[in-house]
């Protein structure tokens, strides 16, 4: 039986981890590779780096980070943020990432999904979507609208329709990030997570709002998610990943518990 995945997300700017992450005595908490190794050793199933570097000329720094991470951890990791072309994707994948994540760039140019899937396979392409409840236009049937540019700008698209289109274009996974819940620690938006997960045939990653272990339990049950993105819940050291996994597996959720071998 396939295990549910826990995926820590690290925001990286100019090659440094930017937020959260205050707890590690012996690790350079700004160093993405050190952080990745820490989460890898804790039992993370996958890691996401989200590059918030503003300028293109600093992009080379990100690639160096990816190369370093790829030498140190032996689980899949993905890189998102600012990838606009197949060449952007290729650079990140050749540097050692397993997957790329596209977001606003894919809303502006949906063909990037198809081109990426053709070039590298669907399993490489994660469509990350920012969704907001209470659509700004009544004609969005799901009641959720897609947002872009860090959740600031309405994209004029219905969330479920965009999920379907992303799947049709060749995305291999969908990451559904709730703008309403992001940073609130009130739990994932279970409604939209479940509705998308049940209407596509590719894995769905819940994102935004995890503050307690029970939120992950809810994402995997009521939310029908295949994986859960976590940030502050793990970055502050309150809930180590190994502890979260134990909590979930004790409640009947299939988890990968890493064993020494």
Partner 1 sequence: MVSIITIVDYKAGNLTSVARALEHLGQRWEITDQPERVARAERVILPGVGAAGSTMENLNRLGMADVLRRDVAAAGKPFLGICIGIQVLLDYSDEDSARCLGIVPGHVVRYQSSLDGRPLKVPQIGWNRVRQVRQHPLFAGVPDDTHFYFVNSYYPVPDDPAVTIGTGDYGVSFTAALARRNIVATQFHLEKSGAAGLRLLDNFCKCELPQFEA
Residue ranges binding partner 1 (CB under 8 A): 1-5, 40, 45, 70-71, 74-76, 93-94, 96, 98, 120-124, 172-173, 198, 201-203, 226-227, 256-261
Please identify, using beta-carbon distances, which residue of 66 and 112 lies nearer to partner 1: 66
Of 52 and 75, the one with the shorter C-beta distance to partner 1 is 75
Shortest distance in whole angstroms from residue 253 CB to partner 1: 13
Pairing status of strand 173-178 against strand 204-207? parallel
Q: How far is the CB of 261 from partner 1 (least distance, A)?
A: 5
Least Cβ distance, residue 239 to partner 1 (angstroms): 20
67/172 Cα distance (integer angstroms): 23
Provide, rounded to whole angstroms, the least separation between the CB of residue 12 and partner 1: 20
DSSP-derived secondary structure letter, 58: G
CA distances from 81 to 51, 54, 71, 202 (A): 5, 10, 22, 21
Nearer to partner 1, 60 or 94 (CB): 94
Rounded Cα–Cα distance for residues 213 and 200 (Å)? 26
Contact predicate 45/82, CB 8 Å: no
Nearer to partner 1, 1 or 25 (CB): 1
Q: Quote the least distance from Cβ 43 to partner 1, whole Å.
A: 8
Residues 6 or more apart from 12 whose CB is under 8 A from it? 18, 32, 49, 50, 51, 52, 53, 62, 65, 81
Cβ–Cβ under 8 Å, residues 95 and 63: yes
Torsion from C-alpha of 66, 67, 69, 71, nearest 10 degrees? 160
Cβ closest to partner 1, residue 52 vs residue 114: 114
Q: Which is nearer to partner 1, 33 or 124 (CB)?
A: 124
Q: Tell the smallest beta-carbon distance from residue 201 to partner 1 (Å).
A: 6
């Amino acid at each position: 039986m396939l295990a549910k995945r826990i995926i820590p997300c690290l925001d990286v700017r100019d090659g440094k981890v930017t937020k959260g992450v205050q707890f590690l005595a012996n690790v350079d908490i700004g160093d993405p590779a050190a952080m990745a190794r820490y989460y890898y050793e804790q039992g993370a199933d996958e890691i996401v780096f989200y590059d918030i570097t503003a300028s293109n000329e600093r992009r080379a720094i990100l690639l160096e980070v990816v190369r370093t991470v790829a030498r140190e951890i032996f689980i899949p990791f993905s890189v998102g943020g600012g990838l606009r072309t197949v060449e952007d994707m290729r650079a990140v994948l050749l540097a050692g990432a397993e997957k790329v994540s596209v977001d606003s760039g894919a809303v502006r140019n949906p063909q990037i999904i198809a081109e990426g899937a053709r070039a590298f396979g669907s399993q490489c392409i994660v469509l990350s979507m920012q969704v907001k409840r209470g659509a700004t236009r009544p004609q969005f049937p799901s009641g959720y609208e897609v947002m872009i540019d860090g959740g600031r700008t309405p994209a004029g698209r219905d969330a479920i329709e965009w999920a379907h289109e992303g799947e049709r274009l060749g995305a291999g996974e969908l990451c559904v990030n709730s703008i309403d819940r992001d940073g609130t620690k009130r739990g994932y938006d279970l409604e939209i997570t479940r509705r998308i997960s049940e209407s596509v045939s590719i894995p769905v990653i819940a994102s935004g709002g995890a503050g307690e272990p029970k939120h992950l339990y809810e994402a995997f049950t009521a939310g029908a998610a295949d994986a859960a993105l976590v940030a502050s819940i793990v970055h502050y050291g309150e809930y180590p990943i190994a502890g979260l996994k134990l909590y979930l597996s004790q409640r009947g959720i299939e988890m990968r518990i890493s064993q020494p071998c």
